Amino acid sequence: MPAKTLMVQGTASNVGKSIITAALCRILKRKGYRVAPFKAQNMSNNSFATKDGGEVSRAQAEQAAACELEPTIAMNPVLLKPTTDQGAQVVVMGKPIGTMTAKEYQAYKPKLLPIVRGALNQLMKSFDVVVIEGAGSPAEINIKHEIVNMAVARMVKAPVILVGDIDKGGIFAQFLGTFNLLKSSDQKLVCGFLVNKFRGDKKILDPGLKWLERQTKRKVLGVVPFIPDLDIAEEDSVALEKTSNIGLAQAETLLKVDVIRLPKISNFTDFDALKKERDVALNFLQKPNRNYLPDLIILPGSKSTISDLKFLWDSGFVAYIKKCVMRGVPIIGICGGYQMMGEKVLDPEHVEAEESECFGLGLLPTVTVFQKEKITCQVKAIHLESQMEIAGYEIHMGRTENHNGSQPFLKIKERNGVLSESDDGVMIENTTSGGRSFIYGTYLHGLFDNAPFRRFFLNKIRRIGELEILSDHASQEQQIENSFDVLADSVENHIDMKFLLGILEGKK
């Protein structure tokens, strides 16, 4: 019997659709349903490698975790990874098919609808419930061919919950405006509204909610409170607008970690685990900081390595980074950041950029060459310095050569479940005027999600800064599991579950 469906759409981007979808997945899982997430099209540079070597959005990987499932490419058949303001790499069923401008993609999009339908049907044959997430707003009247909101709801006659973010203000205009812009046939699919991120006394909101119900003849399913400090990845770069987890005035005795906020930053969720270290002040640095030296600099991944490398040169970041290294500040580059730290980045086939060559930071004895074939795999490895086992994933198009035999960072033991013996990354230790300088590079995303390694690595940085060494560490996996349950408890306690289950079972 095909699965039942429930769809979460929003009044805009970043209203909490991904989080509400994850919450509903966990709630239904706890009630005994076999449940899976689905999002037809996602635009995000935060991605995840599936076990079969495909690539999906990190948000769908998190939702799969809420369902206690391994993510599959069917959960996110189309992924758009912006490379410029006008173009994006298009990933279909886990594999890149090319880079398109917005105009080119709009023309190509109708060809993707059968693929979306096939992926959704695949899930519906295997599960009791599929919780579907929309994208942006369903009321984008300038978009002729959408494949992610009402087009999907119509495809499977999914009841739609419309989510709005009251923290942004204008919640009633959000709901009523979105609802009224829908076609009457699409309005019939909307079963109710869900207010998200509420702070305060709900009684003050009640008159407005009753007015909304009268205006639309639709139920307000509930008012979900703002939930701080969830260990659940956010997919939108809007989340980086809050660039620091602690004020610098409080940071004198803390471990100051600066992540360079590249214009095309990708997989910034790599650093979510660091925010939960009780002594770490994590800061996404938008321009060189002249006021203090951090304890650690991180160069993150990038969806456009050469473009972001040029940004580092043009913005003064290169001089700043080299000054920090000369004063003994450790630095680690991950994926695109690792590529930038070498001597050169070459793109002879113009896979990523118009330029064929760009000078790197010269911190590592490496040269990276871009190739058309994308590497996407889950990885198990040994961190050579500590001999700890770690797990993560690779998503990159460049191949990096270590040409002077410097010590690798990792020894790869397994890729996508297949035994593999190879080296990854580089580790260099220099003596500078400021003391010992450690320079690291690796392709492994999810590095800091490995709690024992994270504690080992950060303790090494703490020793350099003469800070307190921490011995205990919490399992990141357990923290995330707890967060799913905290989220599910909060949502379940603040929505009309009887009504929601009635909708799911076709009784409303």
What is the maximal distance between C-alpha atoms in the chain? 73
One DSSP character per residue, 92-107 reads ETTEEEEEEEHHHHHH
Q: Does 383 qualify as catalytic in the annotation?
A: no
| 221 neighbors 194 (Cβ within 8 angstroms) | yes
Output the CA torsion sign for 107, 112, 113, 116: negative
Q: How many CB atoms lie under 10 A from the CB of residue 22?
A: 31
Strand segments (E) across 204-268: 219-225, 255-260, 265-266
Q: Which residues of 26-64 are buried (b: 16+ CB within 10 A; e: fewer)?
A: bbbbeeebebbbbbbbbbbbbbbbbeebbbbbbbbbbbb
331 alpha carbon, distance to own chain's centre: 22
Q: Does 445 qualify as catalytic in the annotation?
A: yes
| 491 neighbors 198 (Cβ within 8 angstroms) | no
| 150 neighbors 182 (Cβ within 8 angstroms) | yes
Residue 110: phi and psi, rounded to 5, are -55, -30
Which of 324, 335, 358, 377 is an active site residue? 335
Q: How far apart are CA 481 and CA 230, in angstroms?
A: 11
Number of continuous H segments (helices) and E segments (strands) in the chain: 15, 26
One DSSP character per residue, 219-232 reads EEEEEEEP--S--S
Angle between helices 202-216 and 171-181 (to 10 degrees): 20
311 alpha carbon, distance to own chain's centre: 22
Instruction: Single out the residue of 367, 358, 341 nearest to residue 437, CA to CA.
Output: 341
Residue 453: phi and psi, rounded to 5, are -65, -45
HSE-up (13 A, CA, CB side) for residue 495 = 26
Which of 383, 396, 445, 494 is an active site residue? 445
Enclosing H/E stretch for 23 = helix 17-30
Q: So which residues are the catalytic ones?
A: 335, 445
